[in-house]
Amino acid sequence: MGPESCFDFVKLPKTDLHVHLEGTLEPEMLFRLAGRNHIPLPWKSPAMLREACRFRDLAGFLAIYYKGCEVLVTEQDFYDLARAYLERAAADGVVHTEFYFNPQLFCRESTPLAAIMRAIFCAMDEMRDRISSFYMGTVMRTRPVEEALRALDELAPWYDRIVAFGMGGAENGNPPSRFQRYFDACRERGFRTCVHAGEEGPAAYVREAVALGIDRIDHGNAAIQDPELVRLLAERRIPLTMCPISNLRLNVVNELSGHPLKRMLSRGVCVTVNSDDPAYFLGYASDNWAAVHRALDLSGAELRQLALNGVEASFLPEARKAVLREKIKRVLPSA
């Protein structure tokens, strides 16, 4: 390997553990599906949509994100979306991805849930020789707890294909503790749990996630404001799936040089690098690795630890983790 400063991160065998399948809908596909399904759009071209992806905050992003979801109507649409993401991730050097998909966002009158799930799992099965992937269910924290519980029950026919359940959406005013019944129900059914916390919300939300026994925390940036919480995350090896470019695009950080990833890594927290909603934030997995490496001047040892953290934080079985660790060590040998 050449100097880390010019390393091609596409060559790094890596995980992408925090990505929303709906957020991989590229502008060109969005327009193609809109035409196929006769759905009007507020933008005249994919270029105009990309220009609109200059967000000031999470709310601004979600408005465009939900509009994009409207073009996903038929079983073929969902298959095309999943297949395109997995092909792109594999080409980007991602060897294992764990992606969220939220059926709450889609009208069942257009396409039954069974057709949506069949389409996604078909794409996953077709791509399994090129990239391993896990499906994670998720619910919106802006909706009632009862709806989250119904969504969990509705996915029961596919429990054998689902590895975890999470929760996303606008954070402020919607603390993790409000959904304790949902997370308890997920665990009772044998699933691992994740939650978005500490992105736009405070460190207290991350602490709530820890108290709830959540297995993996998405983002977690705000934890850096609470040294005792950082110590607890490190001690318990609770992973944080951080998304640097997403944080920059949504003004969670003003510039990547101020991102807390390196500080948390130095304190022993199991931080990882992920893409979140790459089509809207204009950055896939390797883009995030390259951007955070440049901004934080990460050493070879730090890059190696981040890559290994991604394997540790995954929900893969231990035998598969061991294989991936060896692949990473061959590409990023210890100093």
CATH number at residue 312: 3.20.20.140
The whole-number pLDDT of residue 3 equals 45
Kindly list the strands in the beta sheet with 216-219, ordered across the sheet, starting from the edge strand earlier in the chain.
14-20, 94-101, 132-140, 162-168, 192-197, 216-219, 240-242, 271-273
Q: 4 catalytic, yes or no?
A: no
- Give the domain extent around 210: 4-331
Rg (Cα) of the chain, in Å, rounded?
A: 19
Q: What percent of the chain has pLDDT over 90?
A: 90
Mean pLDDT (the chain, rounded) = 95
* Predicted confidence (pLDDT) per residue in 93-113, tens digit: 999 999 999 988 886 677 899
**What value does the mean pLDDT take over residues 179-193?**
98
Q: Which residues of 10-43 are buried (b: 16+ CB within 10 A; e: fewer)?
A: bebbbbbbbbbbbbbbbbebbbebbeeeeeebeb
What is the average per-residue pLDDT within 122-131?
Answer: 98
Given 199, 200, 208, 302, the catalytic residue? 199
Pairing of strands 162-168, 192-197: parallel
Asked whether the predicted pLDDT for residue 273 surpasses 70, the reply is yes
- Using 50, 70 and 90 to split pLDDT, how confident is the model at 1? very low
Nearest CA to 133 out of 89, 69, 77 is that of: 89
- Average pLDDT of 197-203? 96
Number of domains in the chain: 1
Residue range 293-323, pLDDT digits in tens: 999 999 999 999 999 999 999 999 999 999 9
- Span 131-184, pLDDT tens digits: 999 999 999 999 999 999 999 999 999 999 999 999 999 999 999 999 999 999
pTM: 0.95
What's the Cα-to-Cα distance from 80 to each of 9, 132, 219, 281, rounded to whole Å? 26, 18, 28, 20
Q: Which residues, in sequence order, are CB contacts of 283 under 8 Å at separation 6+? A: 245, 246, 275, 291
Q: What are the pLDDT digits (tens) for 26-55?
A: 999 999 999 999 999 999 999 999 999 988
